[in-house]
Structure formats: structure tokens, C-alpha cells
Amino acid sequence: MTLSIGFTLNGKAVSMEADPAERLLDTLRYRLGLTGTKEGCGEGECGACTVYLDGLPVNSCLVPTYQVRGARVETIEALDPVQLGPFLEQGATQCGACTPGVVMTALWISAHPELLETHTVRELMAGNLCRCTGYDGIVDAVATTIGEVGEGGRGKGEA
Amino acid sequence: MQRREGLAKLTGRERYVDDLPLEGALWGMTVRSPAPRGRVSAVRFRPDVNWSEIVVVDYRDVPTANEILLIERDQPVLAAGYVRHVHEAVLLVAHPSREMARRAARAVDVVVAPEPPALDFRAPPRPEQIQFGRDNVLKRLQIAKGDVEQALARAPVVVEGVYETGAQEHVYLETQGMIAWLENDVLVVKGSMQCPYYVLNALQHALGRDERRVRVIQTPTGGGFGGKEEYPSTIALHAALLALKAGRPVKMVYDRPEDMASTTKRHPSLVRHRTALTTDGRLLAQDIEVVLDGGAYVTLSPVVLSRGIIHAAGPYACDNVRIVGRAMFTNAVPFGAFRGFGAPQTLFALERHMDVIARALGLDPVELRRRNLLRDGQSTATGQVIRDGTDRIAVLERALALSGYREKQHSHAAFNAAQRSQRRGIGLATFYHGAGFTGGGEVHLNSRLQVAGLPDGRVEVLSANIEMGQGTLTVFTQIVADRLGLAPEEVVIGEPDTARVPNSGPTVASRTTMVVGRLIERAADDLRHRVGLDDRARGAAVKDAIMRWHREHRGEPLLGEAVYERPPGIAWDEERYQGDAYAAFAWAAYVAEVEVDLRTCTTRVIDFVAVQEVGKVINPTLARGQVQGGVVQGLGWALMEECKVENGAMINNQLTNYIIPTSDDVPPIRVAFVENPYPHGAQGAKGLGELPIDGPAPAILNAVAAATGADPRAIPLTAERLMEIVERTH
Ligand code: FES
Ligand code: FES
């Protein structure tokens, strides 16, 4: 059994048949060719598969495709690279496997600076695992994006 | 220079193996052993799958030799009627649908007639558990210097200790993956890997293909940390066997649970120290025993053991040293290369032991290290005389100053007296890491590299060394551009494709920048000479000469070349394990500050300072990132990463229950470099990639010991484990 669904993907209307068990992550990667969204764990732990669903970051490995019926989905492919300067400068990417997910979460945080009144960048980024950077580069890039110096004034990781 | 492929990674445009479109491909899956040891008495195909649609491969489909070529040839590509560990590959299946292939793999029952497995590497094997040689010892190695027995007998103080470390999973964020297909008669295998030529050799050996009929291409690799040193040969062989049988392209990409359960991990270790000292803390003798769990096949255990024992006595001067090491066969999933390669285990033991000694002598841990750190002119355990001009005391002092070590000791005393359940402490580790292959390894590798001049005047590096996040593409670009006076855009880094690039050796052992980078410089010089220029020619002069050469030699390749040359004055005696174990060492002092909650026994690292001397730092942002990432990986190993094993199988093979550090678990990692250019490394650089994982675990545990008065001797120091120790202490 498959279900007919329609949704908006990166600003364009999409309609397709989806198996009820199909994950949004696989739909994006294997059926729609949007391979920027990565799989790191397949169970909601690593955040590599982060996309925006109606403007909110979600783990696309946990979202059945049929559930995005009528919704707005945005992936890394839709982001404006102009915002990425600080990520390059601060060394926020190494192997890159976590990176699209990290960027999705990071840019969402910088679009919602009010979150930083109650949470630290480190808390907000904790859903995105990175095995390469040790997180300083990522945290510093977010801090730069939102115009902060870095945590405790020494976020640059330089002693 | 900023990371060269950085923007592609940040925008999701970088294509990893699972991102490549592959027309008409099948998905391959692996059927694995359910038991740690025994004869395969039956393989049953359950009828709920339409088997006529499934491609099935077993050991009889291996054309030439059912062996994965590495140091030894004991590991089969597919088990031939007998299994030696849980999750050993027995059968392969493939189908156009990933879900169908997965279902087919689950519909095969491998029945094993069990035999008694050896599961504890620390216990001497019972006769019925012996499966390798006479005693299950995969490899024995020994280092001897001076007269340890006599020194121990005469010493005023002897301090003993036993230290243990657990297995660690790499958790490269991109799991293992490979695709294989036939192009005319050439087998092409493409995927995530650190060592294209290891994979090529393994394919040639098992499949009986000469190098013209097999080609290996590396895809951008989403982390390796050693986990993609030897294992990719296995999955490459599996994908190749399926592709050959199916006559269609085959893709194998492990999901996370399969990757965690069935691929290599860091070797668990047990290290015993018996140390003789003067009453004021000078080392008189170090007697060290190192035991590693090797798992069910030899794989790289002999060389991991080698690096482990060479680092076991640490960066200290001691006239009498005996280190005996052995790697044990067990029926565990084979352990393998992991960043640091044996050194993190033995340095954990040593640096924890130094604090145990300090406590026993009533001496300050800093003072104990200061008294024993190697001075130029003194020698290591293998008798390697160190004369690199690095001031190791200055490295230590810098770490103390940056961390505010003394001030914090005082403020912690006040804090701990005032708090009911919170305890703070600060801890230190001083250590070193040898760069490049051990002993004569680099000579045996005989690495070759080319720098091509292209018709449009650009140059291209042809090397088998790969990018996995550590910055190869950027650093190679910088090295060529600086050498020839070119802009970074005028430098191309060729795809690691064994049909095109010479064997410049594996991307391991912190050798890429130091050793391969130096080959690039020499090959660039050679290129200059071939177009009639001397070493002073730069920029436009080089470009013009390359273009002129091509106009005069149409269609011919223009290649500058270099082959590895051993730096002068280096000698290694493999028989006696004496001499210059490494061409160069990197030196470091790391300081951790922790806060322990005595109610829950959770440990939080609240500050971390990493000071190191790695020669000249070529790219500060990348170098800093390597250190920060290594420290956090070491922090995970020290406090939270625990492979839980039952009957030889990892049972927490998911990221939900194998816990690695998140951004909220770690403080900013403060990094500083002391620079002392190394004359035989590219631009003065030494190896860096592995060093940062050697220091965090002992520094953190020493800090916990300082904070709580407890005496932890094993990692991971999880809350449960610390609770036991604290209860015993108070
Ligand atoms: S792949 Fe979705 S959270 Fe890891
Ligand atoms: S950059 Fe490799 S996992 Fe984050």
C-alpha cells in the first residue's frame, strides 16, 4: 500500500506516492536526489539528518514521509551559502558528515537569538553529534553568526 | 588558508559514497555469525523470501584466495565452515531494493555447533580455548635497557600499579560504505577509506586480478580515526564479490548498528607497572607489562602492540627499562587501528601511574614529571637519543601557566572545603607521540609521489593520501603553492585513484603532513628541474615553463617525482627493538580540571588546556581543530564510552546507548603550540593527528583523583564505576 502525498520542498511543490514505512530521509536522498541531508544513526541521536519541517528543525530519519503531507520541508540545499563564512573561518567542519545537520541547527539558532536568553549555544547544539571538531569550531561559528564573542570570551579555543 | 573543500561540505554538496547515483545497482547485505566460535553446521534459507531474486555469495565464490591480505593471511573474506567471532561474515546477499536485501539477510539462519570461546584476554586460556599457537598469544614483543632486576632490588622505593582501558568505537559519522562494478574487464571499487593501496592489494590477492584489472578510488571520507585503515578491505571484497557474481554494480553501506557491532574497535588493554625510584622521585627502573586484546584474527595487532610498548615508558629518562608486551587471541570481533594505535593505552597507564607514584612519595605530580622529563642528549626506552632542541620543561610550564594550575589547586582546596557534594580537582599528563611508521616502517613503505605540471600551467598532486576531515586537501595545497609560489587555485589535488596515483602510503600514523608533505616538496622541486628551472624559480616563471614544456612535448605527461628517503642519522634494529623508533616525536602537556558530584559520581570536565610541540604549525585553524577533536574523543574514552559485551558481541551497538560527548558535555578546549621546526618534515611540521588522544584520559583521571581522593585505575570511568571506588575510599 502506498499513499499519495503533496508537500512543499525547498519552495517547490512535490507530489509523490510514499510507502507508510518510508522515512523522509530516504525519500530526500534516494528518491529526490537531495543527498546533502546525511544519515549518521537512523534513530534520532546524531542530528546529521536535520531538516526544517514547517520551519522547525527535525530529525528526518524519524519522520515518516507521509506525515509531511501538506507541510513545508527545507533542506540544506535551500540554504544561502552567504551565511556560511564564519563556519569556514572557525573550522566548524572537518570530515563534513555531521556538517549539513550542524549547519541547519546552527542557522536556526542564529535566526532565533531569543533562545540564548535561556540556553547556551552548547546546550542548543547538543542534538548534533560531531566526532571531528570537538565542537569549539561549531560553537564559535554560531557565536560569530549571532554577533557574540564566544563562550566566556574564550570560545576561540586559543589559550 | 581556509579548508579547501569546506564550502562543499557546509552546503551539503560534497558527495560521499552513499550519495553517488548508481544506475541499476543492487544493495548488498551481510549475513553474520551468531556465535563466537564453532563449526557452521548448516545454513538455512527460510522460504519467506523469493530466493530466485536474490544474489547469494559464500566463501566458494572467492576466486583465488579466501584471505584478507594484511600482516598475516589468517582472516577469511567469508567464513569457510568455521567461525571465530560473533558477526563474522558468512554469506552475502544482494537485491535491487535495500529493504528486500535486508529481509533476505535476516531470512538466513546460520547454525553454529558451539565450541568453547576465549573471551577474557586477561585470563590465561584453558586448553580447550586455545586456537592460536600454543597459548593464544598473537604477538610478543620486548624492549630491554639496562638492568631492571638489579635496580628494583636496590631501589629505596618501588611503586606498583595495574591499569585497564576498554574498547572504544570510532563513531566516524559516515559509516563504512563501498560500491563495486565492472567496467569492461576492470573491477572498480569506490568508497570510504584511508588506504586505497591496502584495498587494492587485498582485492588483487583474493580475486586473483593483476593491477590492470582492478582499480580503487577513494570517495570523500566522513571520518576515519583508524577505523577506515584496514576494515575497508573487507567491505570492498564483499561488494566486489557480489558485483562479480551479479554482473551489476553493488553498493554496500552499513547502518550504524551493523557498523558498531561488526567493525574494529580500539584494543582493550591491561598494563602493569613496577617502578623503582629514589626517595626524591627520580626514576631508577621501569618494569612494564602490556597486554592487549587482539580479537579473533591477527589484523594489525602486532603493530599496535609495537607502538604501544614503545610509548609505554613515556617521555622520561630512565636507565633501566623492561617492557614486555603481548597481544592475545580471543573470540572477540578483531580489534584494529584507532587514532593513537596502542599509545593511548600505555600512556594512560603510565601517566596515571605517575600520579600514583607522586601520591606514594608525597611529591607534587608536577615536580615528579619535571625531575624526569627527557633532556636533550638523554635516551628513550629503545635507546633513542633525543636531540631535537625542544624544551620539554617549557611545554610543561606553558600548560601550567595557561591552565592556572597552581592558583586552581588553591582555589579548589577552598571550594572543596566549602561544598558538601561538589569536588574540584586538576590533573596533568606529559607525553609524546612518535610520528610516521615505527622503526623501519617508512623505509619498507617506500612511498612514491608525483606532482604533475598541467598544460594550462597549473600543477596537480598525485598521491594516495586521502582527506577524511583532517585537512589533507588544504595542507597539500598549501605545501605546493608555497613551494612553487603559486596561488592555491593553481593547485589541483588529484582524486586518490589507484589507476592514476602512485602509492604514497597509507593515510595513518600522523604521517601525511610530515612524511608525504615532504615528498610533495621534493616532487615539486623535481618538476621545476624537469622544466629547466632551479629551486629559486617561483610563480609565473614556473607556470610559463610548464606551459612551454607542454607546447614542446604535446600529449606527454609532465611529472615531478619523489621517493621516500630516510632522514639522516636514523637507525633501527628490529631484532633487538633498539634504536630510533621514530624519526620525530611530538611532545605535549595537557591539563584537565574537573568537577565531580559525589552524590551521583558524575564527572564534568570544566576546563582543558592542551599545549604541544609539533614542529611548525602549517595551518593554525586545522591544527587547532585536530587537537580539539582529539581531546574530546579522548574525553569520551575516559569518561563515557563503554562497549558492553555479552558472549563476544557488543550489545550497546547504537548511538542511543553508546554515548559519545555532545557539545554540552565538554568545555572549550584551549589549545597552544610551542613551535620548533623539524628539518625533515614539510615546512618544518611534525605529525599531529594522533597526539591529542594520548593525554586526555590520564589528565582527567588524575584530576578526578585530586578532586575526590579516590584512586581510579581503569577507563571508562563511568559514574557507576566511580561510585564503587568512592564508596570504597570513604
Ligand atoms: S540519522 Fe537522524 S538523527 Fe542520526
Ligand atoms: S566534522 Fe566530522 S563528524 Fe563533524
- How does DSSP assign B173-213, residue by residue? SSPPEEEEEEETTEEEEEES-S-HHHHHHHHHHHHT--GGG
Cβ(B418)–Cβ(B456) below 8 Å: no
For B558, left (φ over 0), alpha (ψ -120 to 50), or beta? beta
Q: Which residue has the cell 580537582?
A: B425
Asked if residue A154 is part of any domain, the answer here is: no
Gap from CA of B668 to ligand 1 centroid (Å): 25
- Check whether residue A58 and residue A110 sit in a common domain: no
- Check whether residue A117 and residue A105 sit in a common domain: yes
- Check whether residue A13 and residue A27 sit in a common domain: yes
Using the Cβ of B23 and the Cβ atoms of chain A, whether some distance falls under 8 Å is answered with no
Question: Is the CB of residue A48 below 6 angstroms from any atom belonging to ligand 1?
Answer: yes
Asked if residue A156 is part of any domain, the answer here is: no
Q: Summarize the confidence of residues B492-509 as an average pLDDT.
A: 97
d(CA B171, CA B174): 8
Question: Of A30, A46, A77, which marks where a domain is finished?
Answer: A77
Ligand 2 environment, Cβ below 6 A: A 93-99, 130-133; B 173, 223, 469
Asked if residue A152 is part of any domain, the answer here is: no
d(CA B445, CA B607): 41
- Check whether residue A47 and residue A111 sit in a common domain: no
Higher pLDDT, A158 or A45: A45
> Residues 170 to 199 of B: which have CB under 8 A from any A CB?
170-174
> Residues 300 to 359 of B: which have CB under 8 A from any A CB?
none
Gap from CA of B481 to ligand 2 centroid (Å): 27
The whole domain housing A34 covers: 3-77
Asked if residue A33 is part of any domain, the answer here is: yes
Higher pLDDT, A149 or B177: B177
Q: Give the residue, out of B170, B171, B173, B628, with the most ligand 2 atoms within 8 A of its beta carbon, to mutate for a pocket test.
A: B173
CB-based contacts of B364-368 (< 8 A; 24+ apart in sequence): B365/B427, B365/B428, B365/B702, B366/B396, B366/B400, B366/B405, B366/B428, B367/B281, B368/B281
Asked if residue A19 is part of any domain, the answer here is: yes
Domain boundaries, chain B: 18-115+170-262, 269-437+576-729, 441-563
- Give the pLDDT band of residue A150 (cuts 50, 70, 90): very low
- Check whether residue A89 and residue A71 sit in a common domain: no
pLDDT surpasses 70 at A152: no
Question: Of A42, A77, A112, which marks where a domain is finished?
Answer: A77
Nearest CA to ligand 2 atom 3: A130
- Check whether residue A22 and residue A73 sit in a common domain: yes
Query: Searching chain B, which residue's CA lies closest to the CA of residue A50?
Result: B12
Asked if residue A25 is part of any domain, the answer here is: yes
- Give the pLDDT band of residue A154 (cuts 50, 70, 90): very low
Asked if residue A15 is part of any domain, the answer here is: yes
Instruction: Assign domain B441-563 one CATH number from 3.60.20.10, 1.20.810.10, 3.30.365.10, 3.20.20.120.
Output: 3.30.365.10
Question: Of A30, A49, A77, which marks where a domain is finished?
Answer: A77
Indicate whether this model's pTM tops 0.95: yes
Could you tell me the sign of the dihedral formed by the alpha carbons of B503, B509, B515, B520, in that order? positive
- Give the pLDDT band of residue B22 (cuts 50, 70, 90): confident
Angle at which helix A136-145 crosses helix A99-111, to 10 degrees, equals 30
- Give the pLDDT band of residue A153 (cuts 50, 70, 90): very low
The ipTM (two decimal places) reads 0.97
How much is the pLDDT for B728?
87
Query: Which residues of chain A make contact with B8, given a CB cutoff of 8 A?
Result: 96
d(CA B417, CA B178): 57
Domain B18-115+170-262, CATH 3.30.365.10 — does that match? yes
| B625 to A137: CB separation less than 8 angstroms, yes or no | yes
- Check whether residue A96 and residue A129 sit in a common domain: yes
- Check whether residue A10 and residue A68 sit in a common domain: yes
Q: Which residue has the cell 629503545?
A: B382
**Structural domains of chain A, count:** 2
Q: Which of B198, B195, B262, B234 is nearest to B76 (CA)?
A: B234
Q: Which of B333, B253, B266, B350 is nearest to B633 (CA)?
A: B266
How much is the pLDDT for A148?
58
Terminal-residue alpha carbon distance, chain B: 54
CB-based contacts of B454-458 (< 8 A; 24+ apart in sequence): B454/B492, B454/B546, B454/B550, B454/B558, B455/B547, B455/B550, B456/B547, B457/B490, B457/B542, B457/B543, B457/B544, B457/B546, B457/B547, B458/B486, B458/B490, B458/B491, B458/B492, B458/B543
The whole-chain average pLDDT of chain B stands at 97
Query: Which residues of chain B make contact with A79, given a CB cutoff of 8 A?
Result: 11
d(CA B454, CA B440): 35
> Residues 5 to 34 of A: which have CB under 8 A from any B CB?
29, 33
Q: What is the CATH number of the domain that holds A92?
A: 1.10.150.120
Cβ(B289)–Cβ(B353) below 8 Å: no
Looking at the DSSP assignment, which residues form a beta bridge with residue B322? B144, B287
- Check whether residue A63 and residue A105 sit in a common domain: no
Q: What is the CATH number of the domain that holds A46?
A: 3.10.20.30
pLDDT surpasses 50 at A158: no
Nearest to B469 among A37, A132, A150 (CB): A132
For the segment B200-233, what is each residue's pLDDT rounded down to a tens digit? 999 999 999 999 999 999 999 999 999 999 999 9
Class of domain B269-437+576-729: alpha beta
pLDDT surpasses 60 at A149: no
- Check whether residue A25 and residue A71 sit in a common domain: yes
- Check whether residue A64 and residue A7 sit in a common domain: yes
Asked if residue A157 is part of any domain, the answer here is: no
The proportion of chain B whose per-residue pLDDT surpasses 70, expressed as a percent, equals 100
